[in-house]
């Protein structure tokens, strides 16, 4: 008996080689998609686990001092530490500038010393 030779199907590959190539390519695509999904989940988990700080101010209180003529300004501020992981280092900085001169029209710029 003589063996029947089959011609190569695609790029010189047999049917088996072509099937294995297609399955390997599908596996690589699935692995890349799975890696992208895991990477996105990791970023979401890191954002979810971080500390969140909420700062609220409740009105301004002006108290004049008749003896010196100065005005004391107080602002009650509440800092709430939220999130799944608490903030360990919280720094605050409050800056108040006194503006000299007469008030101008809305939108006018004045130099702040």
Q: Please count the residues of the chain.
A: 113
For 33-79, give the DSSP string: HHHHHHHHHHHHHHHHHS-EEEEEE---EEEE-TTT--EEEE--EEE
Query: How far is Cα 46 from Cα 75, in angstroms, rounded to an integer?
Result: 34
Question: pTM value?
Answer: 0.38
What is the per-residue pLDDT for 112? Answer: 47
Find residue 62's DSSP bridge partners: 73
pLDDT in tens, 55-82: 888 888 888 888 888 888 788 888 888 7
What is the per-residue pLDDT for 72? Answer: 80
């Amino acid at each position: 008996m003589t063996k029947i030779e089959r011609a190569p199907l695609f790029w010189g590959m047999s049917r088996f080689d072509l099937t294995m190539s297609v399955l390997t390519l599908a596996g690589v695509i699935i692995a890349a998609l799975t890696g992208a999904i895991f990477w996105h989940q990791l970023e979401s988990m890191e954002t979810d686990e971080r500390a969140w700080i909420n700062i609220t101010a409740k009105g301004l209180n002006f108290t004049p001092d008749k003896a010196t003529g100065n005005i004391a300004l107080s602002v009650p501020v509440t800092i709430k530490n939220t999130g799944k992981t608490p903030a360990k280092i919280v720094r605050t900085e409050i800056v108040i500038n006194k503006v000299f001169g007469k008030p101008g029209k809305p939108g006018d710029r004045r130099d702040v010393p």
